[in-house]
Structure 1
Amino acid sequence: MAPAAELTAQEYRFDSVVINGNERIGDSAIIARAGIRRGQPVSGGQLNDAYQALQNSGLFETVAIEPRGGTLVITVTELPTLNRVSFEGNRRIKDEVLTQIVQSQERRVFNPTQAEADAAAIAEAYGNEGRISARVQPRIIRRDQNRVDLVFEIFEGDNVEIERLSFVGNRKYSDRRLRQVLGTKQAGLLRRLIKRDTFVESRVEVDKQLLRDFYLSRGYVDMRTTAVNGELTQERDGYFVSYNITEGQQFRFGEINVVSEMNGVDAAKYRNIIKIRPGVVYSPTLVENDIARIERQAIRDGVDFMRVEPRIDRNDRDLTLNVTYVISRGPRVFVERIDIEGNTTTLDRVIRREFDSVEGDPFNPREIRQAAERIRALGYFEKAEVNAREGSSGEQVVVDVDVEEKPTGSLNFGGSFSSSDGIGFAISFAEQNFLGRGQRLSLTVSTAEDATRYGVTFVEPRLLGRDLSFGLTLDYAETDSSFTSYDTNRLLLQPKLTFPLSENSKLQVRYTAEELEMLQREVPVHGLTIADDIAAGALFSSSLGYTFSYDTRLSGLDPTSGVLLEFGQDFAGLGGDNKFIKTTAKVVGERRIFNEDITLRASLEGGALAWRSGNNRVTDRFLLSPSIMRGFESGGIGPRDIGGTANDPLGGNLYLAARFDVEFPLGLPEEYGISGGVFYDVGNLWDLSDVNYNGGTVVGESGSFRHVIGFSLFWETPVGPLQFNFSKALKKEVFDKEQSFEFTLRTEF
């Protein structure tokens, strides 16, 4: 029977309606959806509308409407029930993931339109994985009782990799440097292990913003990306992606000023806390930091509703930007409440403590934005949205926090090799959000040829809700080093508190309880000095210590350079067997030159151990490892006991070491992750003034400075950083233990 659309334009009146073909759906439901009532006149157009309503309901495969005198006959074929949804041909994306993507559900009516939409969604998911050639075909298998199985047949295809990332218009920075900025990477040697080398269109906007932020932080305020072109290779297995950019000129800060438009607020008071100085390369981050300093000072001064807005005047002649911080009174708005949704595991207080504001405080939009960034930086959430809306009145604001949690626990298996400890295996469990409290807990078991370690670490980053970190470490280690003629067992307990002193500095205070025993091997080969140390048995040390650090490598005024300063002391003598003062200091400087393609790095560190009483053993003194002084074995320089056949290092009470590194590209494609470097190390370890030699033969007590030069190869592999060091000692002592080659690999899998 032809549908109602073909009926002639006339009126009908039906005394009865007969429904045929329906099994699950009742007659009354079909009549109600058709919208036809008995005994009322019905036009041909209304019959057509009834047909369309039933056909578009998503319940029927076919619909026919036939007037027979005073009877309207509606014949339908119901869509089958979806018995089972399955996937075939998928290896890269698991069934449980695809099940979350599709909307077709078992025991519901099968909808062909929805099945096609699900197939498109699956193909899109593969496209986001870089497999744009993936094809998905929905198939149905008919079963009895009007049921069907829905099978998505998937042809995954190959990854469409990015063969080349290039830039047009960049004069200041090389393609190599800009490719380091992008989240998307070129296909490299181990491309099967890297997912960032596949082309995903949704990443383009993110990469454009990363480029913009990179240039802005270096003063290029006019930088923009004019176009991004992606072109498939002829074989359709790769992309050539090109970014067209305009860099513009680099601007620096000009005059910096603070003015007040707020009654009772003296601008001069806040001008003194501005850290930006004229001539510094412009960066919006530095401006934001100054504004935050002014607002924090205003809170301390009891000034509410202060707003600080930067007015920037551009001077194209000398390429400077004058910045005026304008202090004004903002609207009198308070935080009514903070609503948090989406956190099923994380406690509300873990999120709330990232806000400097609480209910009833003056509302500060900048502080809310900064709190949002801190919440995202926690790493607990897949997404975190923070928005403000009007509250119960015009003077009230409700802050909505909507989060989506992600797994924060991990079980890691790792392997390592180094010339110091040999081949090692490690297993560790780490939970970054323990019991939803924002605490970190890690358990580690690691074994190597020369060392075994078991450790537990607990960290509470916000003790008592304050910016105060509490950490507790319990560690047990056994060593069987090939560089010594004895073994050691060490048990360590160390609680510590860490808190900031300023934006770039922090202080850590700690207590250390340590028991250490030196053990003799089956065949003694050591000298008399080591024999005395072993005879002392297990000794216990109890000490209080602190470390002050100042680090501008991430938050300094210049993004291409930074410095780290560290100074620490430990005072032993709170009980225990030893009394000493151990002092260490370190200075590290780093700078990128030649448009940031070459990295210069220099460090100077030293230590002094002053004994007051106790048993001064080799394990308590300083021993220089290759991480401090390259070109020698662990403990390879400094005083030695040569009375036995083992030639054991004795360590020293004083040491000083300097390292100078230059890291540079080798001209290889950077997607290989291989770069080179040269280094020069100079260091000395000396002083055994508190040691009773007991007739042993000791050399090198007075010390001398050793000089080493070398070449390094760095390979950033997907399974971990691999480093090769080739070195040559320019100056050494005859009893030193030189090591001309060293490499280290660490990985987690």
Structure 2
Amino acid sequence: MTDRRGAGTSCGYGAPKAYILWQSAVAFFFFFATVFLVTPQPAHAQSYTFNTVQVEGNQRIETATILARMGIERGKPVSAGELNDAYQRLLDSGVFETVELTPRGNTLVVAVSEYPTINRISFEGNRRVKDEVLQEAIGSQSRRVFTPEQAEKDANLVAEIYSAQGRVAATVVPRIIRRSENRVDLVFEISEGTTIEIERVSFVGNRAFSDRRLRQVLETKQANILRTFLRSDTFIADRIEFDKQVLRDFYLSRGYVDFRVNSANVEFTRERDAFFLVMDVTEGQQFKFGRITTVSEIPGVDAAIYQNALKVKPGVVYSPSLVENSIARLERLGLKQGVDFLRVEPRIKRNNRDLTLDVEFALTKGPRIFVERIDIEGNTTTLDRVIRRQFDSVEGDPFNPREIRQSAERIRALGFFATADVETREGSSPSQVIVDVDVEEQPTGSLSLGGSYSISDGFGVAVGLQESNFLGRGQTLGLTLSTAQEAEQYVINFSEPYLLGRRLRFDIGTGLATQNSNFSSYDVKRVFFNPALTFSTGELSSVQFRYNWQDSEMKGRSNEVNGAVISSEIAQGKRTTSLLGISYTYDSRLGGLNPNAGVLFEVGVDAAGLGGDNEFIKTSGRVIGQTRVLNEEVTLRATLEAGALSWTGNDFSRTIDRYLLGPNTFRGFEPAGLGPRDLSGGQDDAIGGNYYWVTRFEADFPLGLPEELGLRGGVFYDVGNLWDLSDVNTAGGNIVGADGSVRHVLGLSLLWTTGFGPLRFNFSKALKKESFDKEQSFDLTIQANF
């Protein structure tokens, strides 16, 4: 190692003493200098004192307003932090594009640049959505301050409106046009794009139900060949979320309590012009009801009485709605027995071994809370009483949360309101609640145009005007005008669902109907007046009392000859009928225990003779049973229908008073194409019969074709009879078929669900008929609303 030293110096221990002292002093100096530099020194905050604040650049905003917003007082010390806070307050006001604060001695200069005001707002490129709808959605308004942030938010809101219509490719660009006096025109340039359709909806993980069956549940549909009339095949994100819920409800109502939707993936097709929707689900096992018991935890309440009121039985497929219905049934029973604050608590025990759920309904005492009042807001047209009558509770009644929820559903089901929110809050005391009903009304009037076609009446057009909330009273007033080639009808209907404030429905209809008979040479003209009262006798049953007054006439056609029977009936001229009737209906097809099976039972009796010309008793009945099999893809239906006319007057009945069977009742024959006929005078007149019965068996099923075609197949078998001409003036007639005979018809159907209405094609063959019957091997029915 090389050691560099200066002349006359040495690094040994024998160095001169002065030199050592000098070296120590230098080291001491550097040590204290380092300590001084490293040790933090206290900082002194900078402060300002302004005697004058000068504002520059403001045009619309007053100087005093700016100074008040800053919060800086003249002559008082202001720190740098307070000065920064003042700067931030001016920016946060949202009216300045730039702000600069510059201290100049005792003067603070505030330089601002104001945002322009919006002169006008316009939309360009929008054809699918009106300007008024878009204007209501955005936050920017004319004569308000323009900010780029708000304009961007508004552009996103407009894009969301288009996305909700399936136009996810829509783009919205906000632009400004500078005007004088610091004003701008705000223009939203819109490129609407095209709707993106759902090309395919498929499922992963489903075993109990096929993709075809599950697609019927969803609101989202696959693209249809008639998509001009279909809007449910476009991609809408909110609809996918709704579909998840309805799919869950579908499975839960069929006992799949562990069902869940794992994911709902939406992917572009390779061409990026459509979507694939794939739902990944886990079904789990199907559970049924096991033991169903009722226990009472309220002294003096007998659980056996409530147990006997239950309709659900073991072995029935489990459904949450059946549990809810049972709870509501027991709570209503408690009200009838005077048990206040009754709460029914379902306690469910799971049995994985036999896949059953034991349900124990515990009768408990709820808290002593009363309804203080019901407040209704938002109804400008609808009367308060129309909303209040949807509640079973009134002020002062015990509070029942379940009943309030059911009342809310009934309010929404009225169809009078776009939104209906029902909430509760604490009242004047903890033992009181106030029910708040907030509604937003929507139009309740409608104009409908319809077209139809049938073999019996030909082509027709129908025009309907209806107001379902007439004068805000919840009443329905309707006018129907329909005309076909062979039939016309003009009817006025009125309905009051709560007559005298009770759940008693009152209907009345009056009108004029004419029909040109295409199976005989006469026309029919009717004027009628039909009031009726209907009330519920149970959850699934109802009874109707009705009165019917009718003035009817059979009129012959000029230059046409009629048989002896029809001629004698035409000669009777106008005849009036005044009758009272009663009917009973039970229908479990929608609200029964089994969502896939149900029964409709109807029976009625009409007695004429309370004035008028005609006297008779007419009895009719109908039973329909239907079910779905093979994973609910095939629908089986059986119908038994019958009627009997007993003429009690001294005169003769007419053809229009008796039963005439047509394609809607007995397929395979022309209108009035089977039954008794009069062949006198070279004519072939259908004259009907006093008794009939018809049994129809039918099934409809998928054809295995792409679902977007909307085609299903069907097969049917009809058998029945029409007979008896008692109290008929058959003098001079050549009558055949009066004793009747059983007819058999076998047929195939093609059902086509289109965007403008259902079409049904029936192809039939009579296996057994009479020689005088009028067979019809093809029948087409079209009905559409547009």
TM-score range, shorter chain: over 0.9
Distance 1:199 1:55 in 2: 41
Cα distance in 2 for partners of 1:218, 1:744 equals 34
Residue by residue over 1:312-341, the C-alpha shift from the partner in whole angstroms, topping out at 9 and shown as x without a partner, is: 111111111111111111111111111112
What is the deviation of 1:669?
2.1
Take 1:257 and 1:446, find their aligned partners in 2: how far apart are those partners?
55
Question: 1:145-170 CA distances to partner (integer Å, 9 max, x unpaired)?
Answer: 32222111111111111111111111
Match of 1:171 in 2: 207
Structure 1 position 645, deviation (Å): 5.2
Query: Counterpart of 2:765?
Result: 728
Return the offset for 1:662. Answer: 0.7
Q: Is residue 2:190 matched to residue 1:154?
A: yes
After superposition, the C-alpha distances for 1:444-480 in whole angstroms (9 at most, x for unaligned) are 0011000111011111111122121110011211112
- 1:194 shift after superposition: 1.6
Residue 327 of structure 2 aligns with which residue? 291
2:754 to 703, 714, 717: 717
Alpha-carbon distance in 1 for matches of 2:642, 2:56:
94
Q: TM-score when scaled to structure 1?
A: 0.97
Amino acid at match of 1:738: E
Structure 1 residue 728, shift from structure 2 partner: 1.2
Identity rate, percent: 61
Cα deviation for residue 277 of structure 1 reads 1.2
Q: Deviations over 1:608-652 (max 9, x none)?
A: 000001341111111112110011111111112222455221111
Number of residue pairs the alignment of both structures matches:
742
In structure 2, C-alpha distance between the alignment counterparts of 1:68 and 1:51, rounded to whole Å: 16
CA displacement 1:564-607 (0-9 Å, x = unmatched): 01100110000000000000010100000011010000101010
For residues 656 and 258 of structure 1, what CA distance do their matches in structure 2 show?
Answer: 45
Question: What SS does the aligned partner of 2:549 have?
Answer: strand
CA distance in 2, matches of 1:151, 1:242: 39
Instruction: Report the counterpart of residue 699 of structure 1 in structure 2.
Output: 736
In the TM superposition, what is the alpha-carbon distance from 1:55 to its structure 2 partner?
A: 2.7
CA distance in 2: counterparts of 1:643 and 1:30, whole angstroms: 105
Following superposition, the deviation at residue 394 of structure 1 comes to: 1.4
- 1:33-48 alignment runs, 5 A limit: 33-48=69-84
Q: Quick check: 1:547 aligned with 2:589? A: no
Distance 1:290 1:179 in 2: 30
Task: Indicate the SS of the match to 2:472.
Answer: coil
Task: Work out whether residues 9 and 45 of structure 1, in 8 Å CA contact, stay in contact via their aligned partners in 2.
Answer: no
SS in 2 for 1:662: strand
What code does the residue aligned with 2:531 have? P
Instruction: Determine the structure 2 residue equivalent to 1:311.
Output: 347
User: Which residue pairs with 1:56 in the alignment?
Assistant: 92
1:285-332 per-position Cα deviation (integer Å, ceiling 9, x unaligned): 111112111111111111111111111111111111111111111111
Deviates more, 1:232-241 or 1:170-179: 232-241
- Residue 187 (1) aligns with residue 223 (2): yes
Looking at structure 2, the residues matched to 503 and 627 of structure 1 have their Cα atoms a distance apart, in angstroms, of 29
Note the alpha carbon deviations across 1:200-244, whole angstroms, 9 max, x for none: 222223211211111111111111111211111233221111111
Q: Describe the superposition over 1:508-530 as per-residue Cα deviations: whole angstroms up to 9, x where unpaired.
A: 11000000111121212211211
In structure 1, the residue corresponding to 2:655 is in which secondary structure?
A: coil
Partner residue in 1 for 2:144: 108
Matches within 5 A, 1:512-661: 512-613=548-649, 614-644=651-681, 646-661=683-698
Query: Hey, what's the Cα distance between the residues in 2 that align with 1:20 and 1:193?
Result: 61
Aligned pairs for 1:471-550 (under 5 A) are 471-550=507-586
The alpha carbon displacement at 1:250 in A equals: 1.1
Pairing partner for 1:430 from 430, 448, 466:
466
**Greater Rg over alpha carbons, structure:** 2
Q: Secondary structure at the match of 1:637?
A: coil
Residue aligning to 1:4:
none
Q: Give me the whole-angstrom Cα distance separating, in 2, the residues matched to 1:417 and 1:95.
A: 40
Counterpart AA for 1:290: S
Structure 2 stretches lacking a partner, 5+ long: 1-43
Deviation at 1:484, TM superposition (A): 2.4
Aligned to 2:63: 27
Amino acid across the alignment from 2:706: P
**Maintained 8 Å contact 1:525/1:645:** no
Q: Distance in 1 between matches of 2:438 and 2:444?
A: 18
Partner of 2:34: none
Segment drifting more, 641-650 vs 18-27: 641-650
Instruction: Quote the offset at 1:9 in angstroms.
Output: 7.9
**Alpha-carbon distance in 2 for matches of 1:323, 1:76:** 72
Partner of 1:663: 700
SS of the counterpart of 2:66?
helix
Of 398, 403, 408 in structure 1, the residue corresponding to residue 439 of structure 2 is: 403
How far is the alpha carbon of 1:45 from its aligned partner? 3.7
Q: Which runs of 4+ in 1 moved over 4 A?
A: none
Aligned to 1:379, which of 415, 423, 431?
A: 415
Secondary structure of 1:98's counterpart equals helix
Matched AA of 1:689: S
Alpha-carbon distance in 1 for matches of 2:131, 2:749: 45
Given that residues 228 and 241 in structure 1 are in contact (C-alpha distance below 8 angstroms), is that contact kept between their aligned partners in structure 2? yes
5 Å matches for 1:428-467? 428-467=464-503
- Deviating more after overlay: 478-487 vs 662-671: 478-487
Q: Match for 1:681: what amino acid?
A: D
Amino acid at match of 1:709: L
- The one-letter code matched in structure 2 to 1:606 is A
The question of whether the paired residues in 1 share the 8 Å contact of 2:652 and 2:727 is answered with: no
CA distance in 2, matches of 1:203, 1:68: 62
**Contact (CA 8 Å) 1:166, 1:241: kept in 2 or not?**
yes
Q: Is the 8 A contact 2:564 2:730 kept in 1?
A: yes
CA contact (8 A) 2:652 2:729 kept: no
Say if 1:485 and 1:646, in contact at 8 Å, map to a contact too.
Answer: no
Aligned to 1:84: 120
Q: Which moved more, 1:137-146 or 1:209-218?
A: 137-146
- Residues 58 and 711 (structure 1 numbering): CA distance in 2 closer, same or farther, change over 3 Å? same
Q: Which SS does the other structure have where 2:656 is aligned?
A: coil
Residue 65 of structure 1 corresponds to 101
Q: 1:340 aligns with which of 376, 381, 396?
A: 376
40-49 or 234-243, larger mean C-alpha shift: 40-49
TM-score, structure 2 normalization: 0.92
Q: Which SS does the other structure have where 2:730 is aligned?
A: coil
Instruction: Between 30-39 and 483-492, report the one with greater CA deviation.
Output: 30-39
> What is the rounded CA distance, in whole Å, between the counterparts of 2:626 and 2:330 in structure 1?
30
**Matched residues in 2 for 1:645 and 1:382: separation?**
63
Deviates more, 1:523-532 or 1:328-337: 523-532
Q: Which amino acid aligns with 1:677?
A: G
- Give the gaps of 5 or more residues in structure 1: 1-7
2:314 corresponds, among 278, 282, 285, to: 278
Question: In structure 2, which of residues 233, 238, 243 is the aligned counterpart of residue 197 of structure 1?
Answer: 233
**C-alpha displacement at 1:110, in angstroms?**
1.8
More off after superposition, 674-683 vs 44-53:
44-53
Residue of structure 1 aligned with 2:725, choices 668, 684, 688: 688
Contact 1:571 1:581 in 2 (8 A): yes
Aligned to 1:673: 710
The CA deviation at 1:10 is: 4.3
Contact 2:680 2:732 in 1 (8 A): no
Q: Distance in 2 between matches of 1:345 and 1:187?
A: 40
Cα displacement string for residues 21-75 of structure 1 (whole angstroms, at most 9, x for unaligned residues):
3222111011112222222233444333333322332212333333333333323
d(CA) in 1 for partners of 2:430 and 2:77? Answer: 56
Residue in 2 aligned with 1:302? Answer: 338
| Two-structure CA RMSD over aligned residues (Å) | 1.5
Higher mean C-alpha displacement, 639-648 vs 673-682 = 639-648
Are residues 1:419 and 2:455 paired?
Answer: yes
Which residue of structure 2 aligns with residue 258 of structure 1?
Answer: 294
- Contact 1:158/1:237 (CA < 8 Å) preserved in 2? no
Distance 2:518 2:563 in 1: 16
Deviations 1:406-448 (A, max 9, x none): 2221111111111111111111111111111111111100110
